[in-house]
């Protein structure tokens, strides 16, 4: 017994002295995968156990999540299992913020044997401590099955609590770092999407043949997948617009691919809008399938006849303003059940032809009321000198209606006026 006591005291002294070195070890990395591996190895070493676990607390679900590091240097994490706060020994410790050891777990009602059943591992004893950072739960650590000694003791509680204090700080620092990386990734993605989208949505204000055209797009907080483009042929004009409701880089890429496809197809048959849209869909079926809500518009205008022909698939709005009266040209198909057809309009001097994406129609005010198409059409019926005035009028309507509320969708508009 004296020999055992001496060995035990030597081990405790050794472990307490190691806590100083351990502090440097667990703070040597901010990579969560590496940290989890290091922590669990240290628990097994200083507590002399067969196994160890570290479960991170997930505030959104109030779950404790056990993850294991995979791949080189533990850079990839895979979730293995999760337990609710209050479930099992780990859940009890998380709920009560208190360290506990149990030397015969199958006689303790707090123990949940489901993990043993699933894995075939036999748990005999557990020492479990909460990871607390400034009083807030970060996770739980567990030392499982005491080895080379009969049972866990109160001395082990002192040791694991000392380690848990260091561990909580290291884990929290890794979480902060991980969140900072994710925030920077999102910012970088937004910047990349902005670069792509700005190339697809330049402000337009110019004359083409018998038309004056203006176009503008306003991005929501997170850039999405809209585009428009003007194609100047010798005796006519092509105009395209697309809307893919996917955010960030994916949305910008979808828009870029669709814009490029339409541009290539105009070299084959620029005067047949329905043909172009149908061919674009056939070529990019996989891209269109990813975006649940999407729209594709193409119009062709012959200068000598002021003849406009357009086709629309998906949700966008085409409006003709003639003699101060707005007419919603409700023609179009979807991308699967109804093939878009060509619609022909003989334009007159003074006519406005307006195309808008559904982002403006879906705007809401602070009372939750939609701005709606009718309100937009009434705004278009006011006297305007040119397409630029129309766009400024719509922007003013948006600002007044939303009273500064953040938009959730991009807004794009093209306005053409016949001279």
* 244, 313 contact by CB (below 8 A): no
pLDDT reading at 75 higher than 50 = no
**Integer angstrom CA distances of residue 48 from 1, 141, 148:** 19, 14, 7
**Integer angstrom CA distances of residue 212 from 70, 80, 308, 354, 387:** 60, 62, 14, 12, 7
- pTM over 0.85? The answer is no
* 371, 363 contact by CB (below 8 A): yes
Tens-place pLDDT, residues 165-198: 888 888 888 777 776 665 656 555 555 555 555 5
Tens-place pLDDT, residues 76-94: 445 677 889 999 999 999 9
Tens-place pLDDT, residues 226-278: 888 999 998 899 999 988 876 666 667 777 778 888 888 888 888 999 999 88
User: Worst-scoring range by mean pLDDT, 28-32, 104-108, 212-216?
Assistant: 28-32
* Alpha helices by DSSP H, 63-153: 88-96, 114-119
Structural domains in the chain plus CATH codes:
2-179 (3.30.450.40), 190-418 (3.60.40.10)
pLDDT reading at 205 higher than 90 = no
Tens-place pLDDT, residues 276-304: 988 888 777 766 665 566 789 999 999 99
Tens-place pLDDT, residues 320-349: 999 999 999 987 666 665 668 899 999 999
């Amino acid at each position: 017994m004296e020999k055992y006591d001496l060995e035990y005291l030597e081990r405790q002294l050794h472990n307490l002295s190691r806590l100083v070195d351990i502090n440097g070890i667990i703070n040597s990395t901010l990579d969560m995968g590496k940290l989890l591996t290091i922590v669990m190895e240290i628990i097994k070493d200083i507590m002399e156990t067969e196994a160890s676990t570290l479960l991170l607390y997930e505030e959104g679900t109030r779950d404790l999540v056990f993850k294991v590091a995979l791949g080189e240097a533990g850079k990839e994490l895979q979730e293995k299992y999760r337990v609710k706060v209050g479930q099992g020994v780990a859940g009890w410790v998380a709920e009560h913020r208190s360290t506990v050891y149990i030397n015969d777990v199958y006689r303790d009602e707090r123990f949940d044997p489901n993990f043993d059943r699933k894995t075939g591992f036999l748990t005999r004893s557990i020492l479990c401590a909460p990871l607390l950072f400034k009083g807030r739960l970060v996770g739980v650590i567990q030392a499982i099955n005491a080895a080379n000694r009969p049972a866990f003791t109160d001395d082990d509680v002192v040791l694991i609590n000392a380690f848990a204090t260091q561990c909580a700080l290291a884990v929290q620092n890794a979480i902060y770092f991980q969140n900072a990386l994710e925030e920077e990734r999102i910012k970088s993605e937004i910047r990349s999407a902005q670069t792509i989208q700005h190339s697809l949505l330049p402000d337009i204000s110019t004359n083409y043949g018998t038309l004056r055209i203006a176009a503008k797009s306003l991005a929501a907080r997170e850039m999405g997948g809209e585009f428009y483009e003007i194609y100047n042929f010798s005796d006519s004009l092509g105009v395209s617009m697309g809307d893919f409701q996917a955010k960030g880089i994916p949305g910008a890429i979808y828009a870029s691919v669709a814009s490029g496809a339409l541009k290539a197809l105009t070299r084959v048959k620029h005067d047949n809008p329905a043909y172009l849209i149908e061919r674009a869909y056939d070529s990019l079926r996989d891209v269109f399938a990813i975006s649940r809500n999407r729209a594709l518009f193409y119009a062709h205008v012959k200068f000598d006849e002021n003849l406009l022909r357009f086709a629309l698939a998906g949700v966008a709005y085409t409006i003709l303003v003639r003699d101060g009266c707005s007419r919603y040209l409700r023609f179009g198909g979807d991308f699967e059940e109804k093939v878009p057809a060509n619609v022909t309009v003989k334009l007159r001097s003074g006519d406005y032809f307006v195309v808008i994406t559904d982002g403006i129609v879906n705007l809401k005010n602070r009372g939750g009321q939609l701005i709606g198409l009718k309100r937009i059409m009434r705004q278009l019926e006011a006297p305007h000198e040119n397409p630029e005035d129309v766009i400024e009028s719509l922007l003013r309507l948006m600002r007044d209606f939303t009273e500064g509320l953040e938009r959730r969708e991009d807004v794009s508009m093209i306005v053409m006026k016949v001279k």
